Amino acid sequence: MAIEVTVPEMGESILEATVSHWLKKEGEYVNVGDVLVELETDKVNVEVGAKAAGVLQQIKVQEGGDVKVGDVLGTIDEKAGQTPSPAPEAKQSEKVEDAPKPPEPVREQKQEAAPPPRQDGKNEKQKEAPLVTPVASRLARDKDVDISGIRGTGSEGRVTRADVEKYLQAQDKLDRTAEQPQALADVQTEVSAIQPSGSRPEERIRMSRRRRTIAQRLLEAKNSTAMLTTFNEVDMTNVMNLRKRTQDQFVERHGIKLGIVSFFVKAAISALKGFPYLNAEIQDDEIVLKHYYDIGMAIGAEEGLVVPVIRDANKLSFAEIEKYIKELVGKSQSGKLSIEDLRGGTFTITNGGVFGSLLSTPILNPPQVGILGLHKIEERPVAVNGQVVIRPMMYTALSYDHRIVDGREAVQFLVRVKELIEDPALFLLD
């Protein structure tokens, strides 16, 4: 009996996906629960497992194809999975009967189990191997590629899917050159004769579903909102000194470092309480004011920007916010963010400073009407009490929907954030 492999329910508001990568091939035997295919949505990647054991009979949607919930991805032949099982048992029984001595099968099993001690060196190499994203790891395993030989271009030297694909392309060219050097030389001669001097090569890459969705949402934000941005600058001296004085005690007590972003989360919430229209959204001709604070944190992942949410951030301590952020970043890097991690959000913070951005204009994350942009901390000469001094300064930016937020409110919001960061003792008054 053929069992259909269908696109499962993928979460709230997610109706479509793109087939990213088949982990099994047609004709391959699969067990219940084996991951067959990975789907890419605009928010997270979804793994589709086998609901029955058997042979993957047919792949109906190839990689890169778009699908909807309920669409058939492929079929599994259960009967094909049942027929091979008696054969190994029969062979084993014949071996036992033919064998004059019972210990013989045991010696064969020991010989098969012997390789692990000889893999010590390999294990050492694996320990030294670079960090790898889940998508890149699956692709390398499927193509039988030694990941330790690939230089990663992702964050912290992480090997990405693009790195593996480039490695495979390079190896393919090397193989063709080794097999047909003269033919390749002839082709190169023909190409050079046809191409004009100074010609520039191009490469076409299909946009991922997430990248397409990001592009669509950014255009929607631009075309459907009256977005403006206001700027300010913040003296980070007191926050940095406070972190320096208390860092060791903070780590000892909470097991995590005190970062910069948690101060801005706290400051933003305090400012949102004073200017509630920045913690709202527009629904038809009504303004929905939200009296809870789910703060989105924009994170640049391998497949594209994601905005996981810190729930009820106003109820969390500095340490709890830091742990929340660390957990979300870890999930993003390992591809384990869930739909619940990304759902909702009332206000967003994005930190371009981690990439070296000095100043930028953040784009709204609809239906939210406000987003706070943080930037690189840079020492600059500033005037303090009539004297020119060098201080660690940061530019901040607030983009807002002018349909319900006026410029006066936006400016005062940033001023409130500035006051709290420059004098952290004010947090005690909230």
Q: The domain that contains 338 carries what CATH number?
A: 3.30.559.10
Give yes or no: 175 in active site.
Answer: no
pLDDT at residue 229 in the model: 97
State the DSSP H helix or E strand holding residue 259, giving kind and residue range, or none if neither: none
Residue 218 lies in a domain: no
Residue 170 lies in a domain: yes
- Catalytic entry in 172, 312, 402, 430: 402
Residue 95 lies in a domain: yes
The span from the CA of 225 to the CA of 62, in Å, is: 38
Do 411 and 266 belong together in one domain? yes
Task: Give the Cα-Cα-Cα angle 405, 408, 410 (nearest 5 degrees).
Answer: 55
Do 261 and 371 belong together in one domain? yes
pLDDT at residue 177 in the model: 59
The span from the CA of 415 to the CA of 396, in Å, is: 10
Do 161 and 307 belong together in one domain? no
Are 378 and 358 in contact by the 8 Å Cβ rule? The answer is: yes
- Answer with the one of 145, 161, 178 that is the final residue of a domain: 178
| Tokens of residue 47, six digits | 């793994």
Q: At 88, is the pLDDT very low, low, confident or very high (cuts 50, 70, 90)?
A: very low
How much helix, strand and coil, in percent to the nearest 5, is found in the chain? 45, 25, 30
Do 26 and 52 belong together in one domain? yes
Residue 145 lies in a domain: yes
Domains contained in the chain, number = 4
Do 70 and 57 belong together in one domain? yes
Partners of residue 349 on adjacent β-strands? 297, 372
Q: What is the residue type of 429?
A: L
- Catalytic entry in 186, 248, 406, 430: 406
Do 264 and 366 belong together in one domain? yes
For the ranges 2-6, 158-162, 181-185, the one whose mean pLDDT is highest: 2-6
Q: At 113, is the pLDDT very low, low, confident or very high (cuts 50, 70, 90)?
A: very low
Do 29 and 57 belong together in one domain? yes
Residue 187 lies in a domain: no
Residue 147: domain span: 123-178
pLDDT digits (tens, 9 = 90+) for 347-373: 999 999 999 999 999 999 999 999 999
Do 230 and 303 belong together in one domain? yes
Are 349 and 278 in contact by the 8 Å Cβ rule? The answer is: no
pLDDT at residue 176 in the model: 59
Residue 101 lies in a domain: yes
Residue 75 sits in a domain of what CATH number?
A: 2.40.50.100
Do 11 and 151 belong together in one domain? no
pLDDT digits (tens, 9 = 90+) for 241-278: 999 999 999 999 999 999 999 999 999 999 999 999 99
Do 320 and 334 belong together in one domain? yes
Residue 140 sits in a domain of what CATH number?
A: 4.10.320.10
Residue 216 lies in a domain: no
Give yes or no: 406 in active site.
Answer: yes
Do 74 and 130 belong together in one domain? no
Torsion sign over Cα 288, 292, 293, 294:
negative
Do 336 and 227 belong together in one domain? yes
pTM (two decimals) = 0.63
Residue 190 lies in a domain: no
